[in-house]
Amino acid sequence: MFGYMTEIDKVEMLEKESIDAEGDDMLSLLFHFLDEWLFVFSAEPFFIPRKVVITNFDKENFKISAVGYGETFDISKHPQGSEVKAITYSHMQVHEKEEQCDIFCIVDI
């Protein structure tokens, strides 16, 4: 998602921001997780992470916590890409495998 907004390789890991999200099922948890990160970018201080680390993932109660490492978006440093306006449920998918989980999500730009 952040790759649409700017060139991620230009983002330095100088600061960190934390988020928590909850859902009623795995799809709503994914939606709220991405929506929380979109809010962190869209509101002051306009934080954009280069790396996101999940610190707690409760699959039974559909709760997740994560820390993003990055910096405040600065138009003079970070090339402006497409604005992500919203996360959508349209065609959202979560495919759990033994050693990994693949997700598919469409964002509104």
CATH number at residue 47: 3.55.10.10
Is 6 within the bounds of a domain?
A: yes
Residue 69 in tokens: 């490492």
Is 53 within the bounds of a domain?
A: yes
Is 67 within the bounds of a domain?
A: yes
H helices present in 13-78, as ranges: 26-42
Is 94 within the bounds of a domain?
A: no
Distance, CA of 27 to CA of 48 (rounded, Å)? 23
Helix (H, G, I), strand (E, B) or coil at 2: helix
**Each residue of 36-85: pLDDT tens digit?**
999 999 998 899 999 999 999 999 999 999 999 999 999 999 999 999 99
State the residue range of the domain holding 66. Answer: 2-81
Domains of the chain: total: 1
Is 66 within the bounds of a domain?
A: yes
Q: Is the pLDDT of residue 18 over 90?
A: yes
